[in-house]
Chains A and B, each alone.
Chain A
Amino acid sequence: GEDVEQSLFLSVREGDSSVINCTYTDSSSTYLYWYKQEPGAGLQLLTYIFSNMDMKQDQRLTVLLNKKDKHLSLRIADTQTGDSAIYFCAKRPGNTGKLIFGQGTTLQVKP
């Protein structure tokens, strides 16, 4: 079945760039999403990309998609302590409306 995988933990210093990686198994055309979850809260949509795109930039966030390698990344420029959270990538298979989530990457930003 569908699978989405992420590394579990990333630690960076404030002001550095963070790169969170995600891989998936199914190559059908679809949307891929990045969500942010702060402690005890729900998920906040950060950005999304359609699978026919290679890159999408939105202020400090850059999403890169390598469709051949089935690899998605989220780069956060000038990482701040407020960026500390769990980041989930998610894939929407076909037109089901369901989301398949990765395990989440905990981003720790050190001052």
Chain B
Amino acid sequence: GAVVSQHPSRVICKSGTSVKIECRSLDFQATTMFWYRQFPKQSLMLMATSNEGSKATYEQGVEKDKFLINHASLTLSTLTVTSAHPEDSSFYICSARTSGGTISSADTQYFGPGTRLTVL
């Protein structure tokens, strides 16, 4: 149980285009999903917290107009990188937090496999 998927796993796009990344919780409902960015050989940087049915909360320094987040259902959140530039190339990872119940009392976050974005 507690499987989170991301799609696509890898995407290459031209500078100036927009890219949408999907994050799905497959076997549980996730009231909250998180989006992280990871640079090579570095830790994960939290970009935003996505709550189902409400606006995302962005971390300081993250442009909300550039990284659009939509959390339309309890199992799906999307991150759209608008007008992508080479500096947006990175590994984007989402995680889903269980809404309670039997998965874990530690309110654990379960991570997707990540999406490698390369902007040419």
Task: Please determine whether A104 and B93 come into contact, CB atoms closer than 8 angstroms.
Answer: no
Task: Please determine whether A97 and B42 come into contact, CB atoms closer than 8 angstroms.
Answer: no
Given A97-B49, A98-B34, A98-B49, A31 and B107 contact (CB-CB distance below 8 Å): yes
Q: What residues on B are CB-neighbors of A41 within 8 Å? A: 113-114
| 8 A Cβ contacts from A31-46 to B | 31, 33, 35, 40-45
- Interface residues of chain B: helix, strand, loop or mixed (majority): strand
Range class of the B interface residue count? 20 to 34
Task: Please determine whether A97 and B32 come into contact, CB atoms closer than 8 angstroms.
Answer: yes
How many Å lie between the Cα of A38 and that of B91 in the bound state? 13
Q: Which residues of A contact B (CB under 8 A)?
A: 31, 33, 35, 40-45, 48, 50, 88, 92, 97-99, 101-104
Q: Which residues of B contact A (CB under 8 A)?
A: 4, 6, 32, 34, 42-44, 46, 49, 93, 95, 97, 106-114, 116
Task: Please determine whether B93 and A43 come into contact, CB atoms closer than 8 angstroms.
Answer: yes
Contact of B43 among A44, A45, A98, A104 (CB under 8 A): A104
Most buried by A among B43, B49, B93, B114: B43
How many Å lie between the Cα of A50 and that of B108 in the bound state? 12
Q: What residues on A are CB-neighbors of B95 within 8 Å? A: 43, 99
Nearest to B42 among chain A residues (CB) is: A103
Task: Please determine whether A42 and B42 come into contact, CB atoms closer than 8 angstroms.
Answer: no
Task: Please determine whether B42 and A33 come into contact, CB atoms closer than 8 angstroms.
Answer: no
Q: What residues on A are CB-neighbors of B111 within 8 Å? A: 35, 42-45
Question: Can you name 8 A-B pairs with beta carbons within 8 Å?
Answer: A42-B113, A43-B44, A45-B109, A97-B34, A97-B97, A97-B109, A99-B44, A103-B42
Task: Please determine whether B46 and A99 come into contact, CB atoms closer than 8 angstroms.
Answer: yes
